Amino acid sequence: MSAILRNNEPSTRTLNVRAVAEMDGPLGRRAMLEFSARIPARDAPMPAVHPTGHPSVEIRELTKSFSGVTALGGISLCVERGEFISFLGPSGCGKTTLLRIIAGLTVPTSGEVRIAGRDVGRDPPYRRNIGLVFQSYALFPHKSVAANVNFGLRHRTSLNPRERSVAIDEALSLVRLQQYRDRKPSELSGGQQQRVALAR
């Protein structure tokens, strides 16, 4: 099991996180969720997302139990500005639970989630400024690529139509889909649909 990260520093960084999830199963197995990676940073520096000096996301001693079954057992980690981390592990080891807690969709049993240095434990999902990409992409099939990307901008920002159009162009450029802005999701490959979801 490993984590893949990207850092805007000109060196490599090692992330080591260890969380134990006790699983009820036919063999009574104990699943271990562990992340460890060391890879080179990208050449181009990434812009700072939060100019606060705090990690973008910080998790402190997070636990979650469902009907007496421990899904997360005291996990702590920091995601620095500019990093991308992937959680890999067997089914039922707590990956989705952890992400749902960060996004505010699941309430932890104990522990703390901080975003840009602020405790967001009492904040609803829409106040956390966390974007989700669903496994099924969750694109609107009747809307164009540009309209799908515009959905979140239209409902969550005060940008005017011209500013939203610029933001859509920037997002599609980032995922290299500018030329597909007027196509429907059904006209794209699975990988392209996922990139639309990322842009949104």
Task: Indicate the domain borders of the chain.
Answer: 13-127, 145-199
Greater model confidence, 81 or 119:
119
For residue 53, what pLDDT is reported?
Answer: 67
Point out the least confidently predicted range of 37-41, 140-144, 159-163.
37-41
Q: Which helix (H) or strand (E) holds 118?
A: strand 118-119
137: pLDDT strictly greater than 50: yes
Burial of 27 (0-12, 13-18, 19+ CB in 10 A): exposed
Helices (H) and strands (E) in the chain, counts: 4, 6
Write down the mean pLDDT value for the chain.
Answer: 75
The class (CATH top level) of 13-127 is alpha beta
Categorize the per-residue pLDDT at 47 as very low, low, confident or very high, splitting at 50, 70 and 90. Answer: very low
pTM: 0.56
CB half-sphere exposure, 117, CA atoms < 13 A: 7
**Closest to 65 measured CA to CA, from 74, 57, 77:** 74
Greater model confidence, 133 or 34:
133
Point out the least confidently predicted range of 65-69, 108-112, 140-144, 192-196.
65-69
Residue with tokens 């164009």: 144
Find which of 7-11, 67-71, 126-130, 140-144 is predicted with most confidence, using mean pLDDT.
Answer: 140-144
Yes or no: say if 18 and 77 are a contact pair by the CB < 8 Å rule. no
For residue 158, what pLDDT is reported?
Answer: 79
Greater model confidence, 72 or 142:
142
Point out the least confidently predicted range of 21-25, 31-35, 70-74, 114-118.
21-25
By percentage, how much of the chain surpasses pLDDT 70?
A: 72
What's the rounded mean pLDDT across residues 174-191? Answer: 92
Q: Nearest 5 degrees, angle CA 151-CA 157-CA 168?
A: 50
